[in-house]
Amino acid sequence: MTTLLTSRPTAGAREWAALAVLMLPVLLVSVDNTALSFALPSVSRALHPTGTQLLWIVDVYALVLAGLLIPMGSLGDRIGRRRLLLIGGTGFAAVSATSAFAPTAELLVAGRAAMGFFGAMLMPATLSLLRNIFLDPRQRRIAIAVWAGGFSGGAALG
């Protein structure tokens, strides 16, 4: 019995450039998860949050992000991964800019929760787009490893 080997197209420069572009939202999401830790003294001086509010300011982003990853992946399957990526990127940027000027701790908590919401759109969209871009299984493994390394590296940068 003869086994037919189907060759998959290998990625070229365009696909690797797409990986570099897709790494930008991944880095933003992971950096934002840890960067606030350095700003806590300034946030505390400016907003005078209670201890509970300070905990929510730090933790609500990761809580909402983690809780919505799977539903947002399903939403991306329904409305399209690129559309979800664009909505998530636009929303994340707008809410991040607004949250930077939050006048109260409550508004900062709400802003961080909204950032988690939009960040949850970015993560599954970027990963599923990699699956469509890199058809060769060996190159796909490398691309996913770069994606995971970028997420880990972004957390370290934060």
Query: What's the pTM?
Result: 0.85
Q: What is the DSSP string of 60-119?
A: HHHHHHHHHHHHHHHHHHHH-HHHHHHHHHHHHHHHHHHHTT-SSHHHHHHHHHHHHHHH
Instruction: Return per-residue pLDDT of the chain as tens, 158 residues.
Output: 444 555 667 877 888 999 999 999 988 888 887 788 888 999 999 999 999 999 999 999 999 999 999 999 999 999 999 999 999 999 999 999 999 999 999 999 999 999 999 999 999 999 999 988 998 889 999 999 998 888 777 666 65
- Which distant-in-sequence residues (6+ apart) come within 8 Å of 15 by Cβ? 133, 134, 139
